[in-house]
Amino acid sequence: MKLKENGWLVPIKKGVYAITSISSHGFTDIFPFVIAKILVNESYISFEAAFNYYDLFDQMVKSILSITPLKPRLYHFQDLNYRFVKIKRSLYFGFRDVDFNGYKSQIAELEKVFLDYLYYKNDSYSIDIFREKLNSGKDKIDFEKMINYSLKFPLTTKRKLGFLLDRLGENTQILMDAVHKKGYSRLTKNSNKFNNKWRIYYEDRFDHARSD
């Protein structure tokens, strides 16, 4: 195909091409969120890329992470990695349509971004990111929606959220009523101190960290 050989068409995936211009030097100017949707149609953007969209993450994103109910996939396209992590159908919700110069994509609602983060991540760095964004974005967050969404998640996610929202001073009674009083969970892999209210182990350094 001469158009492809001459750099006018850039393959995104099998049978799908983007048209380029002379000035683009073989690179497409289609927004990465749209590329992610083209790669896996049944998916939505979440994690750091979504925080970036909501102006809560100012670092350059080198990887676009999306949620899908389909099998996990990893693509590389024009200097970006596109990773798709699988979630069960019952948790595939809480996203909305967005338009980028006439192209469609889907992105998690801000409240769902936080929940996806807690559901998938349990390392100390990620929890620190969660706490930082929760604090800086608290004026943008609908906490009632976040808590209602969280009721569909597993027990550990509810415990994590309840423990962290307590420290922000939010009303967590609905979550408290939904949490079992038996067993325990861990906020991070390095958790070493027990919180009896939420029956969750956490890192004792959180006792000395401010939430405001």
Q: Are residues 177 and 102 in the same domain?
A: no
Question: Are residues 189 and 114 part of one domain?
Answer: yes
Same domain, 118 and 53: no
Cα(55)–Cα(6) distance, integer angstroms: 38
Amino acid at 72: P
Assess whether 99 and 116 both reside in one domain.
Answer: no
3-class secondary structure, 5: helix
**pTM metric for this prediction:** 0.86
Based on the fold, state whether residues 54 and 114 are members of the same structural domain: no
Taking the C-alpha atoms of residue 180 and residue 85, their distance in angstroms, rounded to an integer, is: 28
**Do residues 146 and 93 share a domain?**
no
If asked whether residues 70 and 142 sit together in one domain, one would say no
Q: Quote the mean pLDDT of the chain.
A: 87
Please check whether residue 16 lies inside any domain of the structure.
Answer: no
> Domain check: are 143 and 117 in the same one?
yes
Residue that wins the pLDDT comparison between 5 and 208:
208
Beta strands 73-77 and 80-86, pairing class: antiparallel
The string of pLDDT tens digits covering residues 60-82 is 788 999 999 999 999 988 888 99
Burial 136-167 (b: 16+ CB within 10 A, else e): ebeeebebeebbebbeebebbbbbbbbbbbbb
pLDDT in tens, 15-28: 554 545 444 444 45
Nearest to 3 by CA among 24, 26, 34: 26
Whether 81 and 120 map to the same domain: the answer is no
pLDDT in tens, 107-165: 999 999 999 999 999 999 999 999 999 999 999 999 999 999 999 999 999 999 999 99
pLDDT at 64: 95
Residue 17 lies in a domain: no
Whole domain around residue 168: which residue ranges?
110-212
100 and 64 co-located in one domain: yes
Could you tell me the two tokens for 51? 């925080």
| DSSP summary character for residue 180 | -
Give the pLDDT confidence of 164-179 residue by residue, as tens digits. Answer: 999 999 999 999 999 9
